[in-house]
Amino acid sequence: MQARYRMTSLDRTVPALGRRAMLQRAGLALLGVALGGCGGGGGGPPPPPMQGSLDTRSITSNINGNTYPLNIYLPPASAGPRSGLPVVYALDGDTWFDILVDIAESSHAHAIIVGIGNSRALRNTDYVPVNLCTPNGGGEVAFLDFIRRELTPYVETTIGGDPARRVLLGHSHGGSFVLYALFAQAPADHHFSAYLSSDASIGCMPSTVSAWDQAYATVYTELPVRLHMSYATGGNIEANVSFIQVLQGRHYARLDMQQQSYPGSHTGIIPAAFADAIAFAIAIA
């Protein structure tokens, strides 16, 4: 079975997401923050009541010694038993959590979302190897071990989630970490079923990223996961397109990959890119 590549533009997205409603709601929320910050008034209709629920926790890793706050979204009971739900593990979870909750609520996604928090200093260590853009890289191996050996067992034991439906989502340095995690394990050992990389900062570490892919391809001919790679026309488009072309040339068996380009800035694409990626990962009908 050959790899399947689905080339999708911004205008050909999954209708079930209710993207217009999601973007309108996210835009109103961001506008409200902006107006509140500059003394603007609040009119407009209130947001609809939340269907799911929120929780906050923290976990301290015995592997790297760091403590990570967790922002958690739980869908309503109508989504079914939590033990059978996919879990989206989102990097930079404290930064993007509100957008992710809005996506889940607007799309009625039957998924748990776990936003993994960090400080700005930690993300530059945990997410990437030594690179050309930020200092203090090199903690990605320990951070992946923390996710695999400590975080996901904790979530699945105390909150829920189907181990066969784990999803990893990251943007920028987080997107680079998603690609590191993708190639860090053998086909039979992949910890996640779906890997979602948004405008990854791989141009900051081109030789290292190439080595990840090359080492994997030397040994394996299949990549049995769902992979969503998005990139911004005003962001890291060149490095991401080049890497996607390399992946396409591998012809990995059992790889279901979707790439999408979005007009906009590096962070401006996030609501749309995350919405499409999550729909792709959990196959919302």
Residue whose tokens read 């008034």? 41
Q: Which residues contact 146 (CB under 8 A, 6 or more apart)?
A: 61, 63, 64, 66, 68
Is there a domain that residue 213 lies in?
A: yes
Range of the domain at 170: 49-282
CATH of the domain at 124: 3.40.50.1820
Using CA atoms, how far apart are residues 157 and 160, in angstroms rounded to an integer?
Answer: 6
Using CA atoms, how far apart are residues 233 and 1, in angstroms rounded to an integer?
Answer: 32
Nearest to 180 by CA among 146, 216, 233, 225: 216
Judge whether residue 128 has pLDDT over 60. yes
CB atoms closer than 10 angstroms to residue 132: 12
What are the tens digits of pLDDT across the range 193-225? 999 999 999 999 999 999 999 999 999 999 999
Is there a domain that residue 237 lies in?
A: yes
What are the tens digits of pLDDT across the range 228-280? 999 999 999 999 999 999 999 999 999 999 999 999 999 999 999 999 999 99
What are the tens digits of pLDDT across the range 31-81? 333 333 344 455 677 878 999 999 999 999 999 999 999 999 999 999 999
SS3 assignment for 122-150: HHHHHCCCCCCCCCCCCCHHHHHHHHHHH
Is there a domain that residue 27 lies in?
A: no
Region 21-40: what's the mean pLDDT? 38
* Model confidence band, residue 30 (pLDDT cutoffs 50, 70, 90): very low
Model-level pTM?
Answer: 0.86
Is there a domain that residue 30 lies in?
A: no
Is there a domain that residue 34 lies in?
A: no
Higher pLDDT, 32 or 136: 136
Q: How many domains in the chain? A: 1
